[in-house]
Amino acid sequence: MRLFSAPGCHAPRLRGLLLAGCGAVVLTGCAVGPNYKQPAPPAVPRFTEKPMPDSTQRAEEAYGRAQHFAIGADVAGEWWTLFHSPRLSRMIADALRQNPSIEAAQQTLHQAQETTLAAEGSFFPQVTGTLNRQRQKFSPAQSGISPATRGFTGIPAFSVYTAQLGVSYTFDVWGQTRRTVEADAAQAEYQRSELEGAITMLAANTATAAINAAALKEEVEAEQKLVTAEANLLKVVRQQFELGGATGTDVATQEAQLANTQTLVVPLQTQYMQARDQLAAYLGRVPSVADVPDISLDELTLPGEVPVSLPSQLVAQRPDIRASAAQLHVATAQVGVAVANRLPQLTLSAFVGSAPAAIGDLFTPGNGFWSLTNQLAGPLFEGGTLLHQQRAAVAAMKVAAANYQNTVITAFQNVADALTALSQDALALQAAQAGERAAARSLSLAQMQYGFGGVAYLTVLTTQTQYQNAVITLIRARAARYSDTVALIAALGGGWWNRNDVAPPPEGLMRSLLP
């Protein structure tokens, strides 16, 4: 286990010496409850149901070469540089530096670390000091003196000064304090993993949003080109109609086709602007002043070498798995706390002081007092409250264990899905390239033949629709290879261990006392 201190702070030497002394007493007892054990990773040889090929299918060089799966290769810390786009790299760097959710996660981690340090205070004796001055005057009756006594002029007012030093220490016989600190330290580990996960997902989401925006921009441009082409075709159809080579139905149909294509541009433009707004949010800016750079698919280079971690490595790399393991650790330690609550506690209390009539006599002999108290207290009857709290803690531990297993299964599914998608993306791109080339040739021939009266207008209309669909399919197939590459890297953990986004925690002050 690790305990944390605030960044830039170091525990005083005296604190360490006192801890060592208290630890010698604490270790005479035992920490009740189960000790946390890191669950073993799944013993599986691969991620997918069937063995994956070494490489994907090759596409045209302009659209990305074949990708090789480098089994066991490490994930680069700044994996986004693999796309060789300076603007994408700057965008992700800005997002990691400026997004407020990262600052929130960092401060949540700092809060958890300080909570752990606060809990460590229970290992020390609690020392309090007081200094009182009491000014008072007694009446003659209180002192048993009659006011009529000859020569009595009254009891003068006087002061009493009291200086007292008190010490109280509860021996951690059953490890309640140790389990509490252990749970707090595990909670800090959870927050650390949450921060690592937030950084990983922000980088991946920024890259995916940039790729999506680039694809949408190309779709808008493709549809606008089709609008221009269909507007020109409408002129031809109208000319044919005037010459008797086309019917009024042909003209109306082409007008409807042009209007339909113009209608398709509008939602694409909306999606494109919304994608840019999303990028602005990732960058930690409002859309009106975000100044999000335009990134095109052509400026991205598809990584030819794709790292694929071993299944045994995934458990240590995925932030969500590490966070889930930390939650299991918290729940396990809390069982120990619940068990210790049912056992007697031994407390030693002492105080020493002086109570003179004058401040200058604080250290004068005869004015001192002291007290020493040993207390053994334990629950005798709680109406079953503590028993059921213990059972509830055990149930919570089992819930955390089940959630951990589910997180691991989901992580392996994510990797398998990404690997399958990458393999199929290459095949889809090949088909999309062939379809787009064939549709372009078909449309060109149909338009030329229609101009000479060689084919009916319905043929032109059909080829227009086919080409329109083929262009959009090709753009989306290209974008899918980029976005699914990002998805695989994120599913493998995002390479956070090769960056310095989160400062390593300092060595724990009570590490030797924890299970």
- Domains, the chain: 13-124+175-343+387-513 (1.20.1600.10)
| CB burial of residue 449 (10 Å; 0-12, 13-18, 19+) | middle
How would you classify the pairing of strands 158-171 and 368-377? unpaired
With a CB cutoff of 8 Å and minimum separation 6, the contacts of 509 are 3, 5, 11, 15, 16, 19, 117, 120
Residues 188, 397: Cα–Cα separation, whole Å: 18
Helix (H) or strand (E) holding 63: none
Average pLDDT of the residues of the chain: 86
pTM for the complete prediction? 0.83
Cα 423 versus chain centre, distance:
29
395's enclosing H/E stretch is helix 385-451
pLDDT tens column, 112-138 = 999 998 998 899 999 999 988 888 877
Residue 503 has pLDDT above 80, yes or no: no
pLDDT score, position 514: 46
Handedness of CA 341, 342, 346, 352 (dihedral sign): positive
Question: DSSP secondary structure string, 439-465?
Answer: HHHHHHHHHHHHHTT-S-HHHHHHHHH
Count Cα atoms within 13 angstroms, Cβ side, for 465. Answer: 10
Pick from 301, 464, 317, 332: nearest CA to 395? 332
In this predicted model, what pLDDT tens digit does every residue of 438-465 receive, in sequence order? 999 998 898 888 777 788 777 888 888 8
Distance CA 166, CA 371 (A): 9
Is residue 95 a contact partner of residue 206, using CB atoms and an 8 Å limit?
A: yes
Q: What single-letter amino acid sits at 347?
A: T
266-303 pLDDT, tens per residue?
999 999 999 999 999 999 999 998 889 889 999 999 99
CB–CB of 182/333 below 8 Å? Answer: yes
pLDDT of residue 272: 95
Residue 509 confidence class, pLDDT cut points 50, 70, 90: very low
Whole-number Cα distances in Å, 5 to 188, 243, 496, 503, 504: 11, 87, 22, 12, 11
Point out the least confidently predicted range of 180-189, 362-371, 483-492: 362-371
Q: Which helix H or strand E contains 352, and what residues bound it?
A: strand 345-354
Alpha-carbon distances of 462 from 135, 200, 230, 455, 459, rounded to whole Å? 106, 46, 13, 12, 5
Residues listed for the chain: 515
Between CA 251 and CA 240 the distance in angstroms is 9
Q: What is the pLDDT of residues 363-397, one digit of tens each?
A: 888 888 889 999 999 999 889 999 999 999 999 99
Tokens representing residue 492 in the block: 């493998």
Cα 197 from Cα 319, distance rounded (Å): 5
Least Cα distance to 424 among 45, 44, 59 occurs for 59
Asked whether the beta carbons of 185 and 109 are under 8 A apart, the reply is: no
Span 20-35, average pLDDT: 62
Distance, CA of 217 to CA of 300 (rounded, Å): 14
Whether residue 66 has pLDDT greater than 80: yes
Distance CA 154, CA 143 (A): 10
- Residue-wise pLDDT for 215-253, tens only, equals 999 999 988 988 988 888 888 889 888 888 788 988 898
Q: Is 430 helix (H, G, I), strand (E, B) or coil?
A: helix
Contact 195, 409 (CB under 8 A): no
